[in-house]
Amino acid sequence: MSAFSWPARVYWEDTDGGGIVYYANYLRFLERARTEWLRAHGHSQRDLARETGILFTVVSLRIDYRAPARLDDELQITCEPEAEGAASLRFQQRIYRAGPALAHSHNLLVEANVRVACLDARTLRPKRLPEFLLEALATEGVAHG
């Protein structure tokens, strides 16, 4: 299985005074990539809340910072989702500095493990993952845990 990949660029608003990405802003890049993964499967967060009554929320996160991203860097953010139980997904995510000159291992900036729960939009209680999502995971060759 190949990971879903989403491109981004580092803007001034993402950085600290020295032009280096502020550590908390990496979470925004990770969130956007997960949202774009979902969108690539034909679903938006807003439509899911309105039409199917489900929301997704981060319930745990482990992140390792390997190297800094800087102003104007082009990034590639990857997502490798896996069902975990009946109502949650675990995403292995990485952020790389894009560029043809170096191998990916030399461009690795961030590694993260993000657990996301599926919730009922009204009650905010856990809700089973929808069938379309399980089918998307199966299509990508992802194991159901």
Asked, for residue 145, whether it belongs to a domain, the answer is no
Strand order in 88-97's β-sheet? 4-9, 74-83, 88-97, 108-120, 54-65
- Kindly report the three-state secondary structure assignment for every residue of 94-126: EEEECCCCCCHHHHEEEEEEEEEEEEECCCCCE
Whether 144 maps to a domain, the answer reads no
The CATH number covering residue 22 comes to 3.10.129.10
Residue 85, SS3 per DSSP? coil
**What tokens appear for 35 in the block?**
């949202």
pLDDT in tens, 87-141: 999 999 999 999 765 455 569 999 999 999 999 999 999 999 999 888 888 887 6
Q: Which of 14, 16, 47, 73 is catalytic?
A: 16
Higher pLDDT: 68 or 106? It is 68
120 is catalytic: no
Instruction: Name, of 37-41, 50-54, 63-67, 100-104, the range with top average pLDDT.
Output: 63-67
Domain span at residue 86? 4-139
Domain count within the chain? 1
**Three-class SS of residue 92?**
strand
